[in-house]
A and B are shown apart, each in its own frame.
Chain A
């Protein structure tokens, strides 16, 4: 179905007809009732508009082809006349326009376009001259200000910039900003708050790369780096009025990082060592306390009660901490390692229970499992079987921050 069939009109270049047809169809195909139909209709409307515009431009284009043809002739002549005078060039352009329009036989209305263009041009140059003078005047003031370090860093002294009527003019703003930044690079004692303030007027930070390219100074980047772009980091809390306090609640399931590293063998062994040492103190403490209170342990068949207690305690301890908000035992936590499920989120209680049991089971093989685990590239037997990952969060975060 062509766009014209969708709009139910004959092909036309008249934008008004297209709009009317679209409006009429829209009364039956409402966006909230028939989203699909609407999308087709709207697409057709946009395409039709574009085609109509292109077509009318194409007509105009034919004329301009002729014009360019004529231009080559006239410009030759004109160039012969004013070959040395570059300033003549703009005049040449104007004559081309005039001659072009006459040759192509356009209506008188079009012909009038030429003087209008000239007129605007002259006002534009006047305006530009005024702006240029203003720019120079301001930059002289800036130079004066920059002679004195103390004055430079008093924001109030910069207020003359804000008073110029052209500050909101894009081109003027850019030129002035560029001029000031160039000058700032030549002096040493510009404080950050001054930079921040000037950045709020000229938005250097937005076109950081481009502006440094234009200036071509190696210090430019490091200077702009000092600016903290307040606008981009507006604290939403800052505007809040009243209330006792505001706190940010972080949900555990947050954005994923770009890449996750598994915890290295060394780090995991170190973590285990830290945890066991911690627990050893606890166990010894408990036993000593017991002995102090009740005397020697008696009637125990087990050879090494302390070791067994240590093992059992470790399992409970691991389970308890790995399902907590820390997501890892204190030893791992210190080293920046976390235990997660396969979605890199906090493990469930049950899964962690299995993990701990499997850890105990695989530990029976002791040296043998150690050997196997070392070959498994960071995913140990009990990790694999319980469907958990042990990740090096610190390293992953670092990687995430540096790559992006």
Chain B
């Protein structure tokens, strides 16, 4: 049985499998490789995922949601329609839809997957991703870091040896990885990144600056108009590299503004973001103990790296042009599929071994090492960018006389104070009474290939040991909660596959109707109602013909840059 490789992205998802003939990306029910990570739910509990939902983001913004990957591993509940969902549940809906598509294409059931995560995802976020896979009915033995996946796709494609710097900027996250490929070994030297920096931030910066210039309070704009503005700015962002200026009509309240987005304006307002791009790159190079000259290839991954300003900045920093001949939107899915093939022990991939690193330092809390009984200090156990799997032991001791309990708290992060790091869990260990410093315990951290942590504690004097997989992480579920989630999700039904194409057309038509005016509006309303009459007649041939016609008309309308 095949294992599915999935790129679960902030803006788009894609999946593929490794077959005997090589890599195969899977097309969804609408015939696209990319499925937008957007979910819409109607009142009956029916779910739409992908392009249709994306079209409905404007027309039904309270029943649709996008860019929720950023909330993975947090305790936020997102209300769409009448129900609350966590980001994990929403992700699992997307995964379920991808699963259905893949099963439909392959004609067999698939119950195992390799899912990609940003390299800079922390433990909580990784657990949440894994859980999302499980809720969707996958066995998820392996998570793969997105830049590593991309590098695998490049390494395998070019059969190049050398050191790669991979810059992966998607919709919501930015990852930097340095990877060396030699003799069939892919060794990751270092990763770093920014979990809150992506293409969406550029759009956000544009929208905020534009509203500021026009003197409009963002809160005062209603959600429909705001979504339209976001989409317009998104369009402008995509086109700004090719043109010097893009003129758009922006509707706010009842007024219309002519807004010109110039390249110069765009460069100026996104400079703070580009400065943020630079820092993780510097850190990764430093951590890998390399100089910029020692990097053979710079690889760009993720849709946001298409931006002219991004390429120009990287060119400036390194004095050369980056590689980008594989489609940055699907390269991660390709890598994930290769990893799936590896996992499946596919013969063609037999002599490739991948080693990865842990992106953050992992440690525990101790008293101030320079004396005193003041707690809250961080004691690193596994340093960041250590090659995984790894298992490291550190010994700590009691800090006051007759201490009977030691609290082993587990943190992830780089700050010397635990408070500023991410809390992952804790366990309490009982030790025999004794004077300060007499009782010692060994703390062993084991970090596996998926970036998940296990902690073992042994009391040295009596040999008692305690083991814990991280518990109490935000977003983690008990069995009962998990079952409740499963029950909730099992009630969700996807729309029947056959009607999806028609729904996509109508959703797009509705979106265009919302964002256009007067005559154009009437025209769209007219053709949409005609289409609906044809649908009611249920004559397959007629429907097919109408679909083609209408798709063409709507595409032409859409190209007119939002009028």
Residues of A within 8 A of B (CB): 19-20, 22-24, 26-27, 30-32, 35-36, 38-39, 42, 159, 162-163, 165, 167-168, 170, 173, 197, 200-201, 203, 231, 234, 236-251, 253, 255-256, 258-259, 343, 400, 403-404
Contacts and interface: CB of A to CB of B under 8 A. Distances in A.
B316 interface: yes
Nearest to B418: A404
B417 interface: yes
Interface in B106-138: none
Given A20-B183, A201-B271, A242 B423 contact: no
30 contacts: A20-B183, A26-B353, A27-B184, A31-B353, A32-B449, A162-B271, A167-B275, A168-B274, A168-B275, A168-B316, A168-B317, A197-B272, A236-B70, A239-B67, A239-B70, A239-B172, A239-B198, A240-B67, A240-B70, A240-B78, A242-B38, A242-B63, A242-B80, A244-B80, A248-B75, A249-B75, A251-B75, A258-B375, A400-B419, A404-B417
Contact of B389 (A35, A197, A201): A35
B76 interface: yes
B66 A242 contact: yes
B230 A241 contact: yes
Contacts, number: 159
Contacts of A159: 268
A249 B172 contact: no
B395 interface: no
Given A39-B390, A162-B267, 16 more contacts: A35-B390, A35-B391, A38-B355, A42-B355, A162-B271, A168-B278, A168-B316, A200-B275, A236-B71, A239-B67, A241-B65, A242-B38, A242-B66, A259-B375, A343-B428, A400-B419
A61 to B, nearest CB: 19
Nearest to B423: A255
Given A168-B313, A242-B62, A243-B64, A248 B376 contact: no
A259 B376 CA distance: 10
A258 B204 CA distance: 38
B196 interface: yes
B449 A162 contact: no
Interface string B373-417: 011100000000001111100000000000000010100000001
B267 A250 contact: no
B81 to A, nearest CB: 7
Contact of B183 (A23, A240, A243): A23
Given A38-B389, A168-B278, A236-B71, A162 B80 contact: no
B385 to A, nearest CB: 12
Nearest to A21: B183
A23 B274 CA distance: 37
Give the secondary structure class of B's interface: mixed
Contact of A236 (B74, B276, B351): B74
Contacts of B274: 168
B66 A258 contact: no
B185 interface: yes
A124 to B, nearest CB: 14
B79 interface: yes
Given A26-B185, A168-B278, A237 B71 contact: yes
B45 interface: no
Interface residues of B, number: 72
Contact of B77 (A42, A234, A246, A258): A246
B68 interface: yes
Interface in B188-219: 196, 198, 200-201, 204
A249 B77 contact: yes
B170 to A, nearest CB: 12
A13 to B, nearest CB: 18
Contacts of A249: 75-77
B449 A31 contact: yes
A238 B66 CA distance: 12
B376 A404 contact: yes
Nearest to A30: B353
**Among A203, A236, A400: residue with most chain B CB under 10 A:** A236
B75 A242 contact: no
B79 A241 contact: no
Interface string B67-91: 1101100111111110010000000
Interface of B: 38, 57, 61-68, 70-71, 74-81, 84, 172, 182-185, 196, 198, 200-201, 204, 227, 230, 264, 267-268, 271-272, 274-276, 278-279, 282, 313, 316-317, 351, 353-355, 374-376, 387-391, 407, 409, 417-419, 423, 426, 428, 446, 448-449, 472, 474
A142 B353 CA distance: 55
A200 B275 CA distance: 8
Question: A interface, by DSSP: helix, strand, loop or mixed?
Answer: mixed
Contacts of B272: 197, 200-201
B76 A237 contact: yes
A201 B79 contact: no
A250 B279 CA distance: 33
Contacts of B57: 241-242
B376 A258 contact: yes
Nearest to B472: A253
Contacts of B472: 253
A22 to B, nearest CB: 7
Contacts of B279: 203
Nearest to A156: B213
Contacts of B388: 31
B65 A23 contact: no
A20 B204 CA distance: 48
B204 A238 contact: yes
Contacts of A168: 274-275, 278, 313, 316-317
A240 B389 contact: no
Contacts of B71: 236-237, 240, 246
Among A159, A246, A256, the most chain B Cβ lie within 10 Å of the Cβ of A246
A252 to B, nearest CB: 11
Across the A-B interface, give the 7 residue pairs with the lowest CB-CB distance, nearest first.
Answer: A23-B183, A200-B272, A35-B389, A234-B196, A243-B65, A241-B66, A404-B419
A35 B268 contact: no
Contacts of B75: 248-251
Contact of A19 (B65, B67, B183, B267): B183
A244 B81 contact: yes
A231 B264 CA distance: 24
A160 to B, nearest CB: 10
B387 to A, nearest CB: 5
Contact of A241 (B76, B227, B268, B316): B227
Nearest to B419: A404
A249 B182 CA distance: 47
A242 B76 contact: no
A201 B268 CA distance: 11
Contacts of B387: 42
Nearest to A36: B391
A246 B389 contact: no
B278 A27 contact: no
Contacts of B390: 35, 39
B196 A236 contact: yes
Contacts of A400: 419
Contacts of B267: 162
